[in-house]
């Protein structure tokens, strides 16, 4: 009787906690729309990539994928929502370095861990940064910009998508490389930061090329240098930072994740349809046209990438300081 009682109690408790098998029991996944959280305001490169991929990916799955912008706390709010969502495949996250990797390294009370609280699906795309300045700033090249900043330490301010975002850390790292002093002005996403730059509220910004290129071509901002190893086909006249004489390479990446304990059968379906979507010729052409590089990967390769990024950015945070502003 005692063994029977223990068995019944265990069965009752197990029934209260949804297991992976319970989530996987749905006969036809997906049976309803899927929410894709973007932990940033509309207009940034992560939002652009998410919206470009969402419709054809949803078509491949047979149900719509709805982009849900959740800016705030430098992306931590939206990323935490992704981590805490039910592991049923109906809430996904477009992850990127700032809130996913860097923000937890900068805080002793991070509400999630990229390596423990998510199930990787696949890397999606990456995009090199470009340093852009306000047209009113009297600097026409990277060397002139550095010289101007050194002549006026603490006088030039720069925008970012928020403290701890990759646009912030890229500039902080370049400040160390170039030996200059700039003032950080964080915004709730790179989109609002670009708007502030165009309005002349700030002097400079490291932005991903896909989001910055339209403003560069419209002469609303001036491009000084790109952060990749090679010139961008979207901005062929803009030199690399390396060409200006600085050893510096900066880019951002974007990948899809699900909450931890999402069933493997769901992850496999999401992965296979996402990779097929990214590699479809029309999608490859559209992404390449606006300077995104396609990085579709296996879940295991994405997990390894997250581990490498955590190691890399932990060193940068240690050099710059836990919470640089």
pLDDT score recorded for residue 318: 83
Looking at the structure, do residues 110 and 179 belong to the same domain, yes or no?
no
Distance between CA atoms of 164 and 160, rounded to whole angstroms?
A: 9
Q: Is the pLDDT of residue 194 over 80?
A: yes
Looking at the structure, do residues 137 and 247 belong to the same domain, yes or no?
yes
Range name among 74-78, 145-149, 199-203, 213-217 with the lowest pLDDT average: 74-78
Which tens digit of pLDDT belongs to each residue from 77-105? 999 999 999 999 999 999 999 899 998 99
CATH number of the domain to which 148 belongs: 3.40.190.10
Angle subtended at Cα 37 by Cα 36 and Cα 41, rounded to the nearest 5 degrees: 130
Q: Answer yes or no: are the C-beta atoms of 69 and 126 closer than 8 Å.
A: no
Range name among 38-42, 68-72, 106-110 with the lowest pLDDT average: 106-110
End-to-end CA distance of the chain: 64
Distance between CA atoms of 123 and 296, rounded to whole angstroms?
A: 5
* Domain annotation covers residue 28: no
SS3 of residue 253 by DSSP:
strand
Looking at the structure, do residues 238 and 259 belong to the same domain, yes or no?
no
Looking at the structure, do residues 154 and 86 belong to the same domain, yes or no?
no
When computed from its CA atoms, the radius of gyration of the chain, rounded to whole angstroms, is 21
Place of tokens 């047979």: 62
Question: 321 or 18: whose pLDDT is higher?
Answer: 321
pTM metric for this prediction? 0.77
Which tens digit of pLDDT belongs to each residue from 212-246? 999 999 999 999 999 887 888 889 999 999 998 99
Band of the pLDDT at 324, cuts 50, 70, 90? Answer: very low
- Prior bond of 30 cis (ω within 30°): yes
Distance between CA atoms of 188 and 104, rounded to whole angstroms?
A: 17
């Amino acid at each position: 009787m005692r063994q029977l009682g223990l068995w019944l109690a265990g069965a009752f408790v197990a029934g209260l906690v949804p297991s992976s098998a319970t989530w996987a029991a749905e006969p036809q996944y997906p049976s309803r729309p899927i929410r894709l959280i973007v932990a940033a305001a509309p207009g940034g490169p992560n939002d652009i990539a998410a919206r470009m991929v969402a419709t054809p990916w949803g078509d491949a799955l047979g149900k719509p994928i709805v982009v849900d912008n959740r800016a705030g706390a430098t992306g931590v709010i939206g990323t935490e929502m992704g981590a805490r969502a039910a592991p049923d495949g109906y809430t996904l996250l477009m992850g990127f370095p700032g809130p996913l990797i860097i923000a937890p390294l900068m805080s002793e009370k991070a509400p999630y861990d990229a390596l423990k609280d998510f199930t990787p699906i696949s890397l999606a795309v990456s995009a090199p940064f470009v340093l852009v300045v306000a047209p009113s700033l009297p600097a026409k090249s990277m060397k002139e910009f550095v010289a101007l900043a050194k002549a006026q330490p603490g006088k030039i301010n720069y925008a970012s998508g928020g403290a701890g975002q990759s646009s912030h850390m890229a500039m902080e790292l370049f400040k160390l490389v170039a030996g200059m002093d700039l003032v950080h002005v964080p915004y709730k996403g790179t989109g609002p930061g670009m708007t502030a730059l165009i309005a002349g509220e700030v002097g400079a910004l490291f932005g991903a090329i896909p989001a910055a290129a339209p403003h560069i071509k419209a002469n609303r901002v001036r491009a000084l240098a790109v952060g990749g190893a090679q010139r961008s086909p979207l901005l062929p006249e803009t030199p690399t930072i390396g060409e200006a004489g600085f050893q510096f390479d900066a880019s951002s990446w974007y990948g899809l994740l699900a909450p931890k304990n999402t069933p493997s059968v769901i992850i496999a379906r999401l992965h296979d349809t996402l990779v097929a979507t990214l590699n479809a010729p029309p999608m490859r052409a559209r992404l390449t046209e606006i300077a995104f590089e396609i990085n579709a990967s296996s879940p295991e390769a994405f997990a390894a990438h997250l581990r490498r990024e955590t190691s890399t950015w932990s060193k940068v945070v240690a050099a710059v300081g836990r919470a640089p502003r």
